[in-house]
C-alpha cells in the first residue's frame, strides 16, 4: 500500500511538472551580453509625444489628425478588441455554466388514431375538443463545471491575456510608426517646398547671366558656345524644378493618406522652413529601453502566450474531470413545482488512443515557442541596433553639414572671383559656369542634408519611444485594456 501511494505521488508530481510554465524572467532574459550604455546620450527627457520637441505647430496638428483618423490604426485597434473578446471567452471557461430550459407539450387522442403535438409557449389555442387533449410541462436547471486539475483552462486564459497585451503593444507600435512616417513625410514636403523656391531663384539667376552673356556675344565679347552653355544651364534647372514639383505632389498625397483623407481633399497646413534640430534626448539604459519599446513588448507577450499554450497542449493529454448537476420537474396536470428531481454526476475523461495527435500538438506548440523566442531575441538585437544606427547617423550627418557649410562659403567666393576675372578677360567663361553650377548643386544638397538630419532624429525617437502617451488613437482611449495580470508578469 505504501509503495502504491508513493508511485501515485510521483506520477502526480510528474503530471504537474509536465503542465508547468516557464518563469517569465527566464523568457525575458536576453540571450546575449547586454551593453551598459549607448554610444551617445543627451540630457533632455524622452517624451511620449516626441514630435512636439520639434516645436512645429503644423506637425502637431497633422499628427493629431493621423492618430485620430488613420485607418491602419483603426485596424490595429479592432485587433485589440478581438483579443479582448477572446480573453473574455477564455476566462468564462473557469466558471460553472448554468442553463435553464422549459418545455410544454400537448397530446391529442382520438378513437381511431393518436396525434402528438409539442408546443412551446402559453398562447397555444386548441380548436378541438379539449377533453381529448392532455398537457405536459417541464422545467429544468442544469450546471456543469470542469475542475482545472492540470491548469489547462488557467493557462489558456493566461495565453489569451498575453495575446491581448501583445495586441495593445502592436497598436502602440503602429501609432509610433504612423507618427514617424508623418513627421518624415512632412519635413520631406517642407524640403521640397524650399527646393522649389531655391530652383526658381536659380532659374532667375541663370536667366540674368544668360541675358548678360547674350549681350556680350552681340558686342563680340563672348562666343556662341558661351551662350549655348548658359541656355543649357537654364533648361537644366527648369527640369529639376519640374521634378521637385512632382515629388512635392507625391509627398502631399502620402500625407493625405496618413491623416485618413483622399489626396484630392487634403490641404497641407502652412509651415515654416525646415526646423532646427532639437537637443539630443536621454537615451537611457539599454536594458530599460528593451521592454519600453512596444514592438519588443509585443514579441515578449507573444513568447509568453506560446509558453502557456505548451502547457495547455501537455494538459490535454491528462484526464479531465467535470462535475454536473441538474434540477428538474415535470407535470401532466398537477402543480409544476411539486415534483422535483435532483441529479448529481461526475465524469472523468482520459485519452486512450489518438494516433499520436495530442503528442504531435505538444511538439508543435514547443516548436512555436522556440520560433517566437528566436523572434523575440532578434527584436532585442534590432532594437539596440536601431538606436545605435540613429545616433551614429545623426552624429556623422552633423559633421557632413559642417563640411557643406564650408563648401558653400568657398563656392560663393569662387563664383565672385571668377566672375570678376571673366569680366576683365582673365578667365574662361566655362570656369565661371562650372563654379556657378557647383554652387547651385551645393545649395540643393545642403537642403537635402538638413532634411536627412531631421530624419535621423525621427528614427532615434522611433527607436526610443515607448508609446504615444495620452494622444488619442483612432478616436479612442490609448490606455491598455483591463487585462488581469498573469503570474509573474513583468510591468514595462
Q: Which three cell numbers stand for residue 419?
A: 566672375
* 159 & 139 share domain: no
* 219 & 338 share domain: no
| Average per-residue pLDDT for the chain | 85
* 310 & 339 share domain: no
10 inside domain: no
DSSP-derived letter for residue 186 is: H
More confident residue, 420 or 242: 242
What total of structural domains would you count in the chain?
2
* 260 & 212 share domain: yes
Residue 286 is predicted with a pLDDT of 87
5 inside domain: no
31-52 tens-digit pLDDT: 888 888 888 888 889 988 999 9
Q: Which three cell numbers stand for residue 461?
A: 525617437
* 414 & 383 share domain: yes
DSSP-derived letter for residue 471 is: P
Position 328 confidence tier, pLDDT thresholds 50, 70, 90: confident
Measured between alpha carbons, how far is residue 415 from residues 204, 373, 433 in Å?
16, 61, 9
Position 452 confidence tier, pLDDT thresholds 50, 70, 90: very high
Across the beta sheet with 114-118, the strand order is 114-118, 97-109, 133-147, 320-331, 340-349
The pTM is what? 0.83
> Is residue 183 over pLDDT 90?
yes
Q: Which three cell numbers stand for residue 208?
A: 540674368
Residue 335 is predicted with a pLDDT of 66
Residue 14 is predicted with a pLDDT of 45
Residue 161: CB partners within 8 Å, gap ≥ 6? Answer: 87, 483, 484, 485, 486
305 inside domain: yes
Average pLDDT over residues 3-26: 56
475 inside domain: no
* 312 & 323 share domain: no
* 203 & 339 share domain: no
Average pLDDT over residues 102-130: 58
Position 440 confidence tier, pLDDT thresholds 50, 70, 90: very high
Residue 471 is predicted with a pLDDT of 54
Residue 481 is predicted with a pLDDT of 46
In this predicted structure, which of 125-129, 132-136, 287-291, 373-377 has the lowest mean pLDDT? Answer: 125-129
Position 468 confidence tier, pLDDT thresholds 50, 70, 90: confident
Residue 219 is predicted with a pLDDT of 85
Distance CA 208, CA 214 (A): 10
Domain around 56: 17-94+151-316+356-464
Residue 120 is predicted with a pLDDT of 47
Q: Which three cell numbers stand for residue 393?
A: 547617423
Distance CA 127, CA 344 (A): 42
Distance CA 259, CA 73 (A): 11
> Is residue 158 over pLDDT 70?
yes
Q: What is the secondary structure of 441-455 as a DSSP string?
A: HHHHHHHHHHHHHHH
Helix (H, G, I), strand (E, B) or coil at 1: coil
Residue 474 is predicted with a pLDDT of 63
* 136 & 171 share domain: no
Residue 61 is predicted with a pLDDT of 93
Say how far residue 65 (Cα) sits from the centre of its chain. 18
Burial 35-50 (b: 16+ CB within 10 A, else e): eeebeeeeeeebeebb
Residue 169 is predicted with a pLDDT of 94
Distance CA 406, CA 416 (A): 16
User: For residues 486 and 151, is the Cβ–Cβ distance under 8 A?
Assistant: no
What CATH number does residue 267 fall under?
A: 1.20.1600.10
Domain boundary among 350, 372, 397: 350
Q: Which three cell numbers stand for residue 268?
A: 497641407
> Is residue 6 over pLDDT 60?
no
Position 19 confidence tier, pLDDT thresholds 50, 70, 90: low
Residue 129 is predicted with a pLDDT of 54
* 419 & 438 share domain: yes
28 inside domain: yes
Domain boundary among 350, 372, 395: 350
Residue 23 is predicted with a pLDDT of 79
Say how far residue 12 (Cα) sits from the centre of its chain. 43
243-282 tens-digit pLDDT: 999 999 999 999 999 999 999 888 988 877 899 999 999 9
What phi and psi, each to the nearest 5 degrees, are found at residue 372?
Answer: -70, -35
Residue 135 is predicted with a pLDDT of 76
40 inside domain: yes
* 232 & 218 share domain: yes
Position 116 confidence tier, pLDDT thresholds 50, 70, 90: very low
Residue 2 is predicted with a pLDDT of 47
Measured between alpha carbons, how far is residue 274 from residues 238, 396, 449 in Å?
23, 19, 11
Measured between alpha carbons, how far is residue 464 from residues 43, 67, 70, 148, 480 in Å?
14, 19, 22, 42, 19
9 inside domain: no
Residue 131 is predicted with a pLDDT of 59
Residue 288 is predicted with a pLDDT of 82
* 170 & 110 share domain: no
Helices and strands (H and E) in the chain: how many: 10, 5
377 inside domain: yes
Give CA angle at 357 (10, 313), nearest 5°: 55
* 442 & 398 share domain: yes
Average pLDDT over residues 409-427: 87
Four-CA torsion 33, 37, 39, 40, nearest 10 degrees? 160
What CATH number does residue 332 fall under?
A: 2.20.200
Amino acid at each position: 500500500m505504501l509503495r502504491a501511494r508513493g508511485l501515485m505521488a510521483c506520477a502526480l508530481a510528474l503530471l504537474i511538472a509536465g503542465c508547468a510554465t516557464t518563469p517569465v524572467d527566464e523568457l525575458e532574459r536576453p540571450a546575449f551580453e547586454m551593453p551598459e550604455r549607448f554610444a551617445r546620450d543627451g540630457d533632455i527627457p524622452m517624451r511620449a509625444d516626441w514630435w512636439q520637441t520639434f516645436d512645429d505647430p503644423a506637425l502637431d496638428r497633422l499628427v493629431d489628425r493621423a492618430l485620430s483618423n488613420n485607418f491602419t490604426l483603426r485596424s490595429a485597434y479592432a485587433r485589440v478588441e478581438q483579443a479582448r473578446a477572446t480573453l473574455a471567452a477564455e476566462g468564462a471557461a473557469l466558471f460553472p455554466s448554468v442553463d435553464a430550459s422549459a418545455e410544454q407539450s400537448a397530446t391529442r387522442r382520438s378513437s381511431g388514431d393518436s396525434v402528438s403535438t409539442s408546443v412551446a409557449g402559453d398562447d397555444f389555442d386548441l380548436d378541438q375538443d379539449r377533453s381529448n387533449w392532455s398537457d405536459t410541462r417541464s422545467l429544468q436547471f442544469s450546471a456543469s463545471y470542469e475542475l482545472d486539475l492540470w491548469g489547462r483552462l488557467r493557462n489558456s486564459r493566461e495565453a489569451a491575456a498575453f495575446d491581448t497585451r501583445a495586441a495593445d503593444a502592436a497598436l502602440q507600435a503602429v501609432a509610433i510608426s504612423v507618427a514617424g512616417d508623418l513627421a518624415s513625410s512632412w519635413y520631406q514636403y517642407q524640403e521640397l517646398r524650399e527646393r522649389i523656391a531655391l530652383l526658381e531663384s536659380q532659374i532667375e539667376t541663370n536667366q540674368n547671366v544668360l541675358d548678360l552673356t547674350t549681350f556680350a556675344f552681340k558686342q563680340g565679347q563672348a562666343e556662341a558656345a558661351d551662350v549655348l552653355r548658359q541656355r543649357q544651364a537654364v533648361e537644366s534647372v527648369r527640369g529639376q524644378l519640374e521634378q521637385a514639383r512632382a515629388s512635392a505632389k507625391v509627398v502631399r498625397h502620402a500625407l493625405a493618406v496618413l491623416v485618413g483623407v483622399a489626396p484630392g481633399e487634403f490641404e497641407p497646413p502652412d509651415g515654416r522652413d525646415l526646423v532646427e534640430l532639437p537637443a539630443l534626448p536621454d537615451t537611457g539604459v539599454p536594458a530599460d529601453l528593451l521592454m519600453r519599446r512596444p514592438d519588443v513588448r509585443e514579441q515578449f507577450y507573444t513568447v509568453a502566450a506560446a509558453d502557456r499554450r505548451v502547457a495547455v497542449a501537455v494538459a490535454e493529454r491528462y484526464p479531465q474531470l467535470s462535475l454536473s448537476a441538474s434540477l428538474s420537474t415535470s407535470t401532466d396536470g398537477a402543480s409544476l413545482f411539486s415534483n422535483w428531481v435532483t441529479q448529481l454526476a461526475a465524469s472523468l475523461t482520459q485519452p486512450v488512443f489518438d494516433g499520436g495527435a495530442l503528442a504531435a500538438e505538444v511538439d508543435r506548440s514547443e516548436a512555436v515557442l522556440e520560433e517566437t523566442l528566436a523572434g523575440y531575441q532578434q527584436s532585442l538585437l534590432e532594437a539596440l541596433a536601431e538606436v545605435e544606427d540613429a545616433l551614429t547617423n545623426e552624429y556623422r550627418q552633423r559633421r557632413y553639414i559642417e563640411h557643406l557649410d564650408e563648401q558653400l562659403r568657398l563656392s560663393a567666393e569662387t563664383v565672385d572671383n571668377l566672375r570678376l576675372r571673366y569680366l576683365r578677360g582673365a578667365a574662361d567663361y566655362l570656369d565661371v559656369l562650372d563654379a556657378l553650377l557647383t554652387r547651385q548643386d551645393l545649395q540643393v544638397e545642403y537642403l537635402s542634408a538638413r532634411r536627412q538630419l531631421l530624419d535621423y532624429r525621427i528614427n532615434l525617437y522611433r527607436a526610443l519611444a515607448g508609446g504615444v502617451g495620452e494622444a488619442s488613437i483612432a478616436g479612442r482611449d490609448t490606455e491598455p485594456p483591463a487585462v488581469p495580470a498573469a503570474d509573474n508578469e513583468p510591468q514595462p
